[in-house]
Structure 1
Amino acid sequence: MTFVTKLRFQSGDRAALDDTVNGIREMLERKGAECKGPHTEPAERVRVPLYEGLSSGDRLGDWTFEVFARRLEIHGNDHIAREVGHMDFPDSVHVEIELEQKKPLGYRQN
């Protein structure tokens, strides 16, 4: 059975996000891992209301910013995927890791 490691990166800092994802992609290529991506997701505009103080209800307006996202998939190469999972990422980049087990066609469990 093969494992697919799905990585999703999010950040409000596009440069830090691209540097992180491109660095991982280059490392995976150097080590010979099968990698798909990075796939770019549409930027998400987030709006946060601002208030004058905690106790007052006086609203000052909204703070808006964009969140950028990229996805990568590592097929097989479990030891390399584990190495990526233990890497230190910049504080401005949020990383989600999902592991999926792929069974070969015709596989039956008894």
Structure 2
Amino acid sequence: MTFVTKLTLQSGDRAVLERVVSEIATAVERKGAEMKGPHPSPPETLRVPQHKRTTGGETFDSWSYTVYTRTIEIVGHDDVARGVMDRSLPEGVHLGVEVEQVRPLGSS
């Protein structure tokens, strides 16, 4: 059975995110693992209302920020995926991990 590790990286700083994704891709290639991606998702702009008082009512202009997302899939090579997850990431970069077990066709 093969495991597919899906890494989702998010950040509000596009340049830092691209650097981290590039470093991960280089490390995975160096180890000879199969990698799919990075796949970019459309940037998401979030808006947060800011109230002038804790009781509500009058507000300042909403605070808005953009979140950039990249997805990478590492097929097999659990040790390589584990090494990527153990890396220290810059502040502001969030890493989400999903692991899926894939069975070959015809197996039960």
Which TM-score applies when normalising by structure 2?
0.95
Q: Structure 1 residue 90: deviation in Å?
A: 1.2
Deviations 1:33-80 (A, max 9, x none): 110100000000100101223245320121111110000000000111
Q: Which runs of 4+ in 1 moved over 4 A?
A: none
Structure 1 equivalent of residue 80 of structure 2: 80
Q: CA RMSD in A?
A: 1.0
Partner AA of 1:32 in structure 2: G
Partner AA of 1:28 in structure 2: V
Structure 2 equivalent of residue 54 of structure 1: 54
Structure 1 equivalent of residue 7 of structure 2: 7
Which TM-score applies when normalising by structure 1?
0.93
Gaps of 5+ in 1: none
Distance in 2, matches of 1:31 and 1:7, equals 17
